[in-house]
Structure 1
Amino acid sequence: MENKCVLIVDETMPLGAIANTAAVLSATIGKLRPEMIGRDLPDSNGFMHQGITTMPIPILKGNGPLLKRMRSQLKEFEPDLLVVDVISATRTTKSYEEYAEVLKESPEEEIEYFGLALFGEKKLVTSLTGSLGLLR
């Protein structure tokens, strides 16, 4: 089975928030799916470089309402589909503990999503995201 990973990020955010959201999603996916990361590689002088992802990770464009709708719809595909989300509380909280508290206390209808990462069977991921354009 061939897997695919994509990120969907709210394109209406400032560039720094887009970059940070993509970084957080990527770090979490790398932790949860370490098989995505290749072995360390030497350069021509024998200096070792840390392994990087062995698969492309396209960043697709979305917006808040799309991300909210998608996050709700993706629940039916879990746990076969790995879904990671970043919510707006990341910009207002100062610690992970504070973030956890805000997430726990927030009613689902009030949660705003900045980005989603999907990792799973290629056909499924493509069927869920194939209509989304690349973030450029």
Structure 2
Amino acid sequence: MLLHTKAIEADAQKVPPKLERCVIVVDEALPPGKASNAAAVVAFTLGQRHNRLVGAPLVERDGTAHPGLIPIGIPVLKASALQLRELRQKSLAQCDVVDFPVQGQVTTDYAMFLEAVEAHAGESLQYLAVGLVGPRNRVSKLVGGFSLFA
């Protein structure tokens, strides 16, 4: 389950994609497969929530078309579990946040995932990944200290 956090949708509607930034920050302790999964889950929801960030279809010389991709890129950065929690909290009032709680990789049953998250108070949740979309300067300031996930 990806928790919908406070989105600044009115601002997002007014800002052209080139002035926005999209970033995913993943728990640095995750092994590559789980980190990739967490980033993919967050990216999927970010794409659904911000479909204006999807670029024009890619067309080959012979006319074969491929779906459009995000033209502004999505850096995947790393942070500690504590830094992820703090980043999420600081970001709520600054940009749109999509977060992925640890319960998301404990089960493949979405109903059980919903129940597992519901059993926790918000401040006790831990996150595997946090995705941000918002004004370039705000998002850059929020993630400025993080390095690429490698």
Give the alignment's TM-score, normalised by structure 2.
0.83
Aligned twin of 2:88: 71
Aligned twin of 1:98: 112
Aligned twin of 2:128: 114
The one-letter amino acid of 2:99's match is D
Between the aligned partners of 2:148 and 2:88, the Cα distance in structure 1 is: 19
Matched, 1:27 2:17: no
1:84 to 86, 89, 98: 98
The 3-state SS of whatever aligns with 1:76 is: coil
The 3-state SS of whatever aligns with 2:146 is: coil
The one-letter amino acid of 1:120's match is G
Between the aligned partners of 2:98 and 2:125, the Cα distance in structure 1 is: 14
The one-letter amino acid of 2:141's match is S
Across the aligned residues of Structure 1 and Structure 2, the Cα RMSD in angstroms comes to 1.3
Between the aligned partners of 1:75 and 1:45, the Cα distance in structure 2 is: 45
The one-letter amino acid of 1:110's match is S
Between the aligned partners of 2:28 and 2:56, the Cα distance in structure 1 is: 32
Moved more, 123-132 or 100-109: 100-109
Aligned twin of 2:65: 48
Point out where structure 2 has 5 or more consecutive residues left out of the alignment. Answer: 1-14
How many percent of aligned residue pairs carry the same amino acid? 29
Between the aligned partners of 2:63 and 2:49, the Cα distance in structure 1 is: 30
Offset at residue 41 of structure 1 (A): 2.3
Offset at residue 44 of structure 1 (A): 1.7
Aligned twin of 2:56: 39
1:12 to 18, 29, 51: 29
The 3-state SS of whatever aligns with 1:44 is: coil
Q: Find runs of 4+ consecutive structure 1 residues off by over 6 angstroms.
A: none
The 3-state SS of whatever aligns with 2:42 is: helix
